[in-house]
Each structure stands twice: as structure tokens, then as C-alpha cells.
Amino acid sequence: MWLLSAPFRKRGFFYSNWEHGGAVWHRVRVPATECPRISREFLEEDRGQQKGDFEREYLCEFQEDGQSVFSRELVERALDSSVKPLDVPPMLTTW
């Protein structure tokens, strides 16, 4: 399967497979700054877009949605499969 896209938000099928798809995917990232058909002048003229648009559209960067308290990277770094859950006995209640 071929997936061709510009990054958008840090969610969904494309993002999940780009970041966490493992070795089954061959990833190719080509930002506009490395494409000889796109002039530096054009990129500089378009750089004044809304914050994040230039980075997403031309530099192949996934963006946060701006609605979360914690960034996705911070949450993902907090997850650690080597930490075992606590073995807490059920609470005794007397009614």
C-alpha cells in the first residue's frame, strides 16, 4: 500500500503509521526545501502563512491540534511498558 500525504495533525491512520508503523513501512520525507523545482523565493513568499501551516505544508511536520493540555510527545514519553501496575487489593467497605 502506498500512502501519499502532507502531514496534518498528530492523529489518524497516516500519523500512527508514520510514527509507530514499525519496520513494515518504508518512509520517504521530502520537504519543499529539498525539492529543486520549488524556488527559495516562492517558499519565502509563502512563509507568512498562519502559524504552523508553512511547517506542515512545506517542511513535512505533523502539528498538534492546539486543543490539548499536554503534547502528544509528552504523553507518549510518559508511557513505559516496563513499569508493572501496582497490585492493590480491593478496598474493604463496611456499610
Q: What percent of the chain has pLDDT over 90?
A: 25
| Burial classification of residue 17, based on how many CB atoms lie within 10 Å of its CB (0-12 exposed, 13-18 middle, 19 or more buried) | middle
- Give the C-alpha separation, 74 to 70, whole Å: 6
For the segment 11-26, the average pLDDT, to the nearest whole number, is: 89
Quick: pLDDT tens for 71-82. Answer: 778 888 888 888
The average pLDDT across 47-70 equals 82
Q: What's the pLDDT at 92?
A: 65
